[in-house]
Amino acid sequence: MYGNSHPHFSTLDMIKFLSSASLSLKEDGILLIQDMNMLLDIINRRYKHVLPEKITENKILISLHVGYDEIRGIFRRIYINLISGNKAIVDLKFWILLKF
């Protein structure tokens, strides 16, 4: 297989692929996967900025990057309404959205 295989498989399919590969390898066999967390690179470059999410007469909603869990592939953002002061921290799975 040539190229980056990750964008071509769903998370479940990738698990099946790795399980299948383990059955195909000899006991001391090696499976090499070239990988780079491109999404994390994009996030680190632009997504960490303050983002205006919704601006109306009664609401100014912004979001800020809080963190990223590489194991779960989850981004954490805090959403703040600057007028009411309401805020919420939300876990987001952008890698799922990027498949479509």
pLDDT category at 34 given cuts 50, 70, 90 is: low
Q: Between 29 and 39, where is the model more confident? A: 29
Specify burial of residue 63 (Cβ count, 10 A radius: 0-12, 13-18, 19+).
Answer: buried
Q: Between 50 and 98, where is the model more confident? A: 50
Report if pTM > 0.75: no
**Tell me, what's the pLDDT at 64?**
92
- 77-83's contacts with Cβ under 8 Å and 24+ in sequence apart are 79/53, 83/58, 83/59
- Calculate the alpha carbon distances from 76 to 21, 63, 90 in Å: 33, 10, 6
Q: Is 50 exceeded by the pLDDT of residue 3?
A: no
**Tell me, what's the pLDDT at 37?**
62
Q: Is 66 helix (H, G, I), strand (E, B) or coil?
A: strand
**Tell me, what's the pLDDT at 42?**
66
Contact yes or no for 78/66 (Cβ under 8 A): yes
